[in-house]
Amino acid sequence: MDESLALLLLPGRLEGLPFEAHARSLLSIPRVLALEPGRIRAPRFMRNAASLRQASRIWLPGLLRVVVLYHPAQYPLARALCGRDDGELWYIPPDSAQLERDSGSDPDLVEFDDAARARATATLAVHENEVDDAPLRERLTDLDIISPRAFVPEARFRRGPRGRKGLSRGR
């Protein structure tokens, strides 16, 4: 599959997230998918290995071009996914007060936040819980994630007899 995809790494269930409206607007794009975290968190000493294993087990109906990270807790998985398909990381950081509260239960979050900022293609600005995502949407258009073509995950377009494009089922 050569369809370009974007993946939103959500810090929890979509309902009730601080950036729920933003995530829902991105999810209205057919080539954008979301991944909620699992219920079980890996122990601290296994976090990198567990993220690599999880990234290798995730099947996507195309090529992952963009990973959108909403919280630094998901950074190890984002790094593994970006490394798998050579995707770009776009980071929407939580506000500093939220990060400070969350880092009380997980001291690695500040380190993950710094690493995400350093590795990210862009860190999007947040003003009054509104994300300025114009650069992200422009990049999604450049990568053909926002596209006028229909997204049919299990089909390939090919030239048929007489040079017309046709839809063929294939794997």
Closest listed residue to residue 120, CA positions, set 95, 93, 141: 93
Q: What is the pLDDT of residues 26-65, one digit of tens each?
A: 999 999 999 988 766 666 667 677 777 878 888 888 899 9
Nearest residue to 117 via CA among 156, 75, 62: 75
pTM: 0.80
pLDDT in tens, 8-20: 999 889 998 888 9
The stretch 124-143 carries a mean pLDDT of 90
pLDDT at 6: 96
Query: How far is CA 136 from its chain centroid?
Result: 12
Domain range annotation of the chain = 4-169
The pLDDT, as a whole number, for residue 119 is: 95
User: What is the separation, in whole angstroms, between the first and last Cα of the chain?
Assistant: 8
CATH number of 4-169: 3.40.50
d(CA 29, CA 68): 14
DSSP E strand boundaries for 93-162: 122-123, 126-127, 130-131, 155-159
